[in-house]
Each structure stands twice: as C-alpha cells, then as structure tokens.
Structure 1
Amino acid sequence: MSAIVSGTALLVTGGLGMPLAFLAGSVFASFTWPAVILVAVVGGTQALATVLLLRRKEAALLWAAVAGFGMLIWIFVEISLIHESSWLQVIYFSTGSAQVALVLALLGIVEWLPRRPLHANPTSKTAPVSQAG
C-alpha cells in the first residue's frame, strides 16, 4: 500500500518536494516515470501477491517472490540514483529481504519453515498406513 500511496503522491506533487537534482545522471527528466514504476511495478506486484495469497492460489508464491525482488531492486536503484539514504529505505530493504526469504522457505528451498500446499484437495483421502507384520 505504501508504494501505491507514495507513488501516487510523487506523481501528483511532481516529486514530493524533492529536487530534480536527485535525478541528475539518470534516464529520468522528472519524477513521473519513477512514480509510475513505483505504483505499477512495486505496488502492483505487492498488491497482486497479497490478493493471490488471500485467495490461497499457488501463483501467490511466485508473485510474492517477484514483488520482494522488485522491492529490493527499487531500493538499490533509488539509492544509486539519488545518492542519499533514509531509515525508510532500510525498512523497505529489510521487508523485501524477509519476503524473499519466506518465499524461499515456503517453496522448500530452505528447510527451516515447513511448506504446506495452499490448496487442500478435498477429494483426496489418504488411507492410514497399516502396520502389517
């Protein structure tokens, strides 16, 4: 939500009062495209992942990974472009890192968090294991 709200505010205000000098040396002449990218890419993928997770769709993990990596890329590019940093960037980098780590755990790539399928198959019945012998 913060990416969508912040990107919209950035777009409406033309930069939230930040000087255009922050964009010097970049491909951007104004804050318009960074704002659109923040809303659509960063906020959009996070929103899509959230909706898919709430609906317990298997694609949710893919989109959560995309969204987490997108947030990390956004922070790296932002810091490299403006040559400034703030406590917010630390928070967003941390949450993006945690998001990616949790996705890896849920996919079973790291084993410290057990994975349970998002969809339970209601028609599947497992027979009890018999102890013959």
Structure 2
Amino acid sequence: MAVFNALSAVAGGVGMLLTDGLGMPRSFLDNSPFNSFLVPALILLIVIGGTQTLATVLLIGRRASALLWTAVAGFAMLIWILTETVMIQGFSWLQALYFATGGVELILVLALLGIVSWLPRAADWAPAVRAGNGRRR
C-alpha cells in the first residue's frame, strides 16, 4: 500500500509541477488559498510523497519506526484527500481510491500492532520491535 501511495504521490506531484495541474481546470482552485497548482503540487510531492516514501523504506528495512511513519503517511493521505475534496467541491473515483488506501494503511498498522483483533497480527514483527533494534531477527 505504501509503495503504491508513494509512487502515485511522487508521480502526481511531479506531473502537476511539469504540466501546471495535470490538465485540471484552474476553477478547482477557486475555493482554495492557491492561485496556481504549484503549492498543491509541492505538498503532494514532498509531504504526501515524502511520508509515503519514508514509510516504504522503513517497512522494507523492518525498522522499529516503520509503523509510526506508516500511520503518519496514512493520516496524511486521509487529510490530503479530505482537504482536496472540500476545496475543489467535487469528488472522483481517484479520491475514493486514495482515501481507501490511506485508511487501509492505518488498519494494517493497527493489525500489526495487535490492536485490531479481527485482523491477523504479524507475530514475527513484534519481537524485533520489542528488542529495540528495529531490525527483524
């Protein structure tokens, strides 16, 4: 999930920067504090893409902070999509998709932590985290 979100956010941010909005009408910005797609593109690229990329790298490396950063990335995605939906005063299937992926990231973090009892817990993850070295044994 984090890999998909990272690639999508980075590609979307770069695409928005290079094309001034990926073909979106400027009217989408009418109810926002932005005059161009520059700042939203940078937020998508750096904040959303950055946290998703960091979460991906930490997850692949089985680092102790991976779940924290995956939760941050999931929440950032939810906030991004909710804010975008309010500002453009519209809704598309892509927004539903990315809202769902952010939500799934959070549910998976809860499952890995054993907080959501109806999902399987990653038993082999917990010992490495408890050991404090952040690496899987």
Q: Could you tell me the TM-score, scaled by structure 1's length?
A: 0.85
Aligned residue pair count: 121
Alignment of 1:119 onto 2:125? no
* Residue type at the aligned position of 1:57: R
Alignment of 1:38 onto 2:47? no
Alignment of 1:48 onto 2:54? yes
Residues 71 and 92, structure 1, Cα contact 8 Å, conserved in 2:
yes
Would you identify which runs of 4 or more consecutive aligned residues in structure 1 move more than 4 Å? none
Residues 58 and 118, structure 1, Cα contact 8 Å, conserved in 2:
no
Structure 2 alignment gaps of length 5 or more: 1-6, 132-137
**What residue in structure 1 maps to residue 99 of structure 2?**
93
Counterparts of 1:101-112 in structure 2, within 5 Å, are: 101-112=107-118
* Residue type at the aligned position of 1:104: L
Residues 75 and 93, structure 1, Cα contact 8 Å, conserved in 2:
yes
**What residue in structure 2 maps to residue 71 of structure 1?**
77
Structure 1 alignment gaps of length 5 or more: 122-133
**What residue in structure 2 maps to residue 6 of structure 1?**
12
1:118 to 1:99, Cα distance in 2 relative to 1, 3 A: farther
Q: Which has the higher helix share?
A: 2
Alignment RMSD (CA, Å): 1.5
Residues 56 and 118, structure 1, Cα contact 8 Å, conserved in 2:
no
Aligned mates of 2:46, 2:127 — CA distance in 1: 26
State which drifts further: 18-27 or 6-15.
18-27
Q: What do the CA deviations read for 1:29-75 (whole angstroms, capped 9, x no partner)?
A: 11000000001111111110000010000100000000001111111
Residues 14 and 45, structure 2, Cα contact 8 Å, conserved in 1:
yes
* Residue type at the aligned position of 2:121: P
Alignment of 1:80 onto 2:86? yes
Percent identity reads: 55
**What residue in structure 2 maps to residue 124 of structure 1?**
none
1:16 to 1:118, Cα distance in 2 relative to 1, 3 A: farther
Residue 118 of structure 1: CA displacement?
6.3
